[in-house]
Structure 1
Amino acid sequence: MEYDDWDPGNNKVIRGKNIRRDLLWKTLKGQFGLISKIRMLRL
């Protein structure tokens, strides 16, 4: 998703937001995976 190359001033800000959102999404997915694994083990 590199469609924000036309605005070099906002590039770093947008990229930082995207990286932060990706990290948040990965941690959320990891926690959900752990919860589902624990649930499967309990069953």
Structure 2
Amino acid sequence: MEYDDWDSGKNKLIREKNIRRDLSWKRLKRLFGLILKTRMLRL
């Protein structure tokens, strides 16, 4: 019983980490896109 609780808690932690990584990756891509756009406008 305890092992099952621990396992589900671990899976929850992993899921939260993945979600956080996904959000940060999307934010980075958006920032990169903005930088590219401004560079194109300057040129």
TM more than 0.5: yes
TM-score class, shorter: 0.7 to 0.9
- Distance between the aligned counterparts of 2:9 and 2:32, measured in 1? 36
Instruction: Compute the TM-score of the two structures, normalised by the length of structure 2.
Output: 0.77
Task: Provide structure 2 residue ranges, at least 5 long, that are not aligned to the other structure.
Answer: 1-6
User: Normalising to structure 1: TM-score of the pair?
Assistant: 0.77
The structure, 1 or 2, with the larger RCO (C-alpha pairs under 8 Å, 6+ apart) is: 1
Structure whose alpha-carbon radius of gyration is higher: 2
Q: For structure 1, which runs of at least 5 residues remain unmatched after alignment?
A: 1-6
Q: CA deviation at 1:10?
A: 1.1
Question: Matched residues, percent identical?
Answer: 73
Give 1:4's aligned residue.
Answer: none
Q: Deviation above 4 Å: which 4+ runs of structure 1?
A: none
- In 1: Cα distance, 2:30 partner to 2:9 partner: 33
Alignment of 1:7-18 (within 5 A): 7-18=7-18
